A and B are shown apart, each in its own frame.
Chain A
């Protein structure tokens, strides 16, 4: 079973703060890295699917980077807002496996 580690486990920031999370995954046999946002009482929603080393993706105030050689990805949120409060999941897939999820980072943004 592949291991995906996310840190921190939880984070509490004030509105306007910028924040970042880390996802670590095995660097061998890399195929793709996914980021999802999961708000309470809703379905997980795909944020980014990243496949190339050095990839950087952006969606509004949220961006992500990928380093497949060392096996990590960062998710950044610039100027956090209360509506950013959610659990952020990363998931890793090799060429021969299905998606393996980390435990997630729970973000709470206070007004």
Chain B
């Protein structure tokens, strides 16, 4: 079955460490996105990519980095520069016109300990 796989489901990070969240899709979608959810807030866009080897900052990109070396993969690195990284992270993908809506992964909950 086609879909998006995010791993790990839960991640614990010590302060000062970088961590990388994985997102893989087998839907042949061109565009991929990373969102962050905090309590009481809507999903906020961190980074997105519409084509391999190209990506754009979203509304809250500071302290994060991404790469898009393959169409299927869009990993997100949470760096030590991110001041408040504890959150739920969702990856999504879509065809370029998004006529069918976005397809989401099941998310990664990151906790800083």
Query: How far is B41's CA from A104's CA once the two chains are assembled, in angstroms?
Result: 9
Per-position contact with B for A75-111: 1 when CB-CB < 8 Å, else 0? 0000000000000010101000011111110000000
Cβ of B58 within 8 Å of any chain A Cβ, yes or no, is: yes
| One of B20-28, B62-70, B71-79, B104-112 at the interface | B104-112
Query: How far is B101's CA from A104's CA once the two chains are assembled, in angstroms?
Result: 17
B46 to chain A, nearest CB (A): 11
Residue from B40, B98, B105 within 8 A of A43 (CB atoms): B105
Per-position contact with A for B81-110: 1 when CB-CB < 8 Å, else 0? 000000000100000001111111111000
Per-position contact with A for B33-77: 1 when CB-CB < 8 Å, else 0? 101000011111100100000000011000000000000000000
Residue from A42, A48, A93 within 8 A of B98 (CB atoms): A93
Query: How far is B90's CA from A99's CA once the two chains are assembled, in angstroms?
Result: 14
- Interface pair B90/A44, CB less than 8 Å apart: yes
* Known contacts A98-B33, A98-B58; is-contact A46 B43 (Cβ 8 Å): no
Chain A residues lying within 8 Å of B4, measured Cβ to Cβ, are: 43
Residue from A1, A43, A99, A100 within 8 A of B106 (CB atoms): A43
* Known contacts A1-B59, A49-B99, A98-B58; is-contact A44 B42 (Cβ 8 Å): no
Residue from B35, B40, B44, B101 within 8 A of A34 (CB atoms): B101
| Interface residues in chain A, defined as those with a beta carbon under 8 Å from any beta carbon in chain B | 1, 4, 32, 34, 36, 42-49, 89, 91, 93, 98-104
7 nearest A-B pairs in the assembled complex, by CB-CB distance: A46-B101, A43-B104, A101-B42, A101-B43, A103-B42, A44-B104, A49-B101
| Interface residues in chain B, defined as those with a beta carbon under 8 Å from any beta carbon in chain A | 4, 33, 35, 40-45, 48, 58-59, 90, 98-107
28 inter-chain pairs at a CB distance below 8 angstroms, sorted by A residue, are: A4-B42, A34-B98, A34-B101, A36-B101, A43-B105, A43-B106, A43-B107, A46-B100, A46-B101, A46-B102, A49-B98, A49-B99, A49-B100, A49-B101, A89-B42, A89-B43, A91-B43, A93-B98, A98-B33, A98-B45, A98-B48, A98-B58, A99-B98, A99-B102, A100-B42, A101-B44, A102-B42, A103-B41
